[in-house]
Amino acid sequence: MRPLTIDIVSDIACPWCAIGYARLQQAMNSLADEMTFDVRWHAFELNPDPGGDGQPILEALARKYGRSPAEVEAAQADMMRIADGLGLNFNRMQERYTRNTFDGHRLVKWAAEHGKQTEMKLALFDAYFGHAENIADPDVLRSRAESIGLDAKEANDVLASDRYGEAVREDEAYWQQAGVSAVPAFVLNRRYMVPGAQEPDTLVQYLRKAAVAESEH
Find out whether 94 and 76 touch, Cβ atoms under 8 Å. yes
Nearest 5°: CA angle at 24, between 77 and 177?
95
CATH code, 193: 3.40.30.10
What integer pLDDT is reported at residue 59 of this predicted model?
93
Residue 209 pLDDT class (50, 70, 90 cuts): very high
Residue 56: asked if its preceding bond is cis (omega within 30°), the reply is no
pLDDT digit string (tens) for 74-116?
999 999 999 999 999 999 999 999 999 999 999 999 999 999 9
Mean pLDDT (whole number) for 181-197: 96
Residue among 215, 202, 193 nearest 42 (CA):
193
Q: Please give the DSSP secondary-structure letter assigned to residue 67.
A: -
What integer pLDDT is reported at residue 155 of this predicted model?
98
pLDDT digit string (tens) for 127-155?
999 999 999 999 999 999 999 999 999 99
Instruction: Give me the residues paired with residue 186 across strands.
Output: 8, 194
pLDDT exceeds cutoff 80 at 216: no
What integer pLDDT is reported at residue 191 of this predicted model?
92
164's enclosing H/E stretch is: none
Residue 121 pLDDT class (50, 70, 90 cuts): very high
Range 81-95 burial, b when 16+ CB lie within 10 A, else e: ebbeebebbbeebbe
What integer pLDDT is reported at residue 53 of this predicted model?
79
Q: How far is CA 40 from the centre of its chain?
A: 11
pLDDT digit string (tens) for 6-61?
999 999 999 999 999 999 999 999 999 999 999 999 999 998 887 777 899 999 99
pLDDT exceeds cutoff 70 at 195: yes
Q: Please give the DSSP secondary-structure letter assigned to residue 37.
A: E
Mean pLDDT (whole number) for 181-187: 97
pLDDT exceeds cutoff 80 at 217: no
Residue among 189, 186, 192 nearest 3 (CA):
189
Q: Specify the amino acid at residue 77.
A: A
Structurally, how many domains does the chain consist of?
1
Residue 48: asked if its preceding bond is cis (omega within 30°), the reply is no
What are the φ and ψ backbone dihedral angles of 8, each rounded to 5 degrees? -110, 115
Q: What DSSP assignment string belongs to 91-138?
A: TTGGG-B----HHHHHHHHHHHTTT-HHHHHHHHHIIIIIH---TT-H
Query: Which residues, 6 or more positions from 52, have their beta carbon under 8 angstroms from its beta carbon?
Result: 98, 100
The residue segments making up the domain with residue 75 are 2-216
Instruction: Put the strands of the sheet holding 35-43 in their side by side order.
Output: 35-43, 2-10, 185-188, 192-195
